[in-house]
Structure 1
């Protein structure tokens, strides 16, 4: 037996008296999503406020969590774009400009909205599973309005990805003898940048930039070609989202271990 919430225009939402009609492990997906997001948020918070072991001077490895490094306390060579002329207080991360941008870009991402709406907010948790909320307000509440700014956060995140790419490329020209060189850290940073570009370019907003607001694809063959290629990436946006989160933590952890002297970077060339 089902009932309808008449508070919503147009028929309302179907409500079920049982907690769930499902017989499978419907809770496993939301649980894993919550654990995955929580792991990233906790790890990221610890690392950005640690403000140490973010830079390997010998090979110019800079963790993406600290890029661009802008504080006066940053190592001079780590601040590839210069340092502000004052020291940051202890509670302000060195990369205080990029971190909010990247966080807002991820939080407002269409895939991540679905992920945490279903797993944390439970709206809805899964098909045929009763919701804990009596009504549905969508994204009309004040705290939800920034979700509509995702397209603008994309532009800023695109710039940050370019900066991460620059950090990765510069490190290749700081081998053991000061010339071109390749170490495990270079490969780790390269993999991270590839996945970050995969996530950024597969974004729905990126597709809109190239193919949105067009009355006819026939009149814009180049934009149509780009839009169709990005659409292929967009089909794997979820995978790029999770893999890029994993690569961010892996890259940061590797650089932190090398910077702290816990491990030594294995050199492949020079």
Structure 2
């Protein structure tokens, strides 16, 4: 009679090294830390500068100051009016929108992955042990705020409409009639890419096509879902591109507003 031996007890592999990977896995987190730090430093300095944010002659308003509702804003730069009294310099002029834009970006699925890996090292890369002793997920403060991403998305849709209005105003010449220059085209490209990034959001994809059992019964939503899905596949690229276009747009308007450069006019 054959005797069946007991299977050996299973234990986790005892690996003392942080990782057995031999490739340069640390390069991606380092690049992300560097680029995000540069952008955050620039954006922080600009939103607290308090000047060189508007070009009255060509109606250029930087997205970092839109909407400009502070009592110290230039009247012509205040699309929604100056309904907030003058605030201390420690509060940005566009604090009404910046809170939601920042919340939308920070809770974005791609940006979570980016700064979780690069800044928090949780984990820094696949198959690399993280330094944290335990992980509680997004169930406690502050990470539980990530669950507000969908609601940030709704507000950012309204802010995107406002950015579109600002871009449309940039197509007015000094006399108020139709006209545009290089700055107008930069603002237009920026707002188009911002719309692409916003609509490529995972929440937008779920809103358009989620909770449907049969796509065939909802052809319009299915068509929208396919377009959003196409953008969603490029969400990471759009996340980085829009950071670049935001910085470029603000930098260009700052240089023109300060008189460092002149805006090449194409028409009127």
TM range (shorter): over 0.9
The aligned counterpart of 1:9 is none
Structure-2 separation of matches of 1:18 and 1:65: 45
CA 1:133–1:85: 2 relative to 1, 3 Å: closer
Structure-2 separation of matches of 1:64 and 1:86: 21
Structure showing greater radius of gyration is 2
Does residue 1:263 correspond to 2:261, yes or no?
yes
The aligned counterpart of 1:198 is 196
Q: Is the 8 A contact 1:17 1:130 kept in 2?
A: no
SS of match in other structure, 2:262: coil
SS of match in other structure, 1:50: coil
Structure-1 separation of matches of 2:263 and 2:149: 38
Structure-2 separation of matches of 1:128 and 1:226: 37
Post-superposition Cα deviations, 1:135-186, rounded to whole Å, max 9, x if no partner, equal 221111221110001000000111111100100001212x133311110000
The offset of 1:15, in angstroms, is: 7.7
The offset of 1:132, in angstroms, is: 0.4
Post-superposition Cα deviations, 1:29-80, rounded to whole Å, max 9, x if no partner, equal 0111111111111111100000110000000000000000001111001001
Give the TM-score normalised by structure 1. Answer: 0.93
Equivalenced residues, count: 259
Which stretch of structure 1 is more off in the superposition, 115-124 or 235-244? Answer: 115-124
Structure-2 separation of matches of 1:64 and 1:107: 18
Post-superposition Cα deviations, 1:173-229, rounded to whole Å, max 9, x if no partner, equal 2x1333111100001101110110110010001111111122221211100110011
Does residue 1:247 correspond to 2:245, yes or no?
yes
Q: CA RMSD in A?
A: 1.5
SS of match in other structure, 2:266: strand
Out of 218, 221, 224, the position equivalent to 2:222 is 224
The aligned counterpart of 1:237 is 235
| Unmatched 5+ stretches in structure 2 | 1-10
Give the TM-score normalised by structure 2. Answer: 0.93
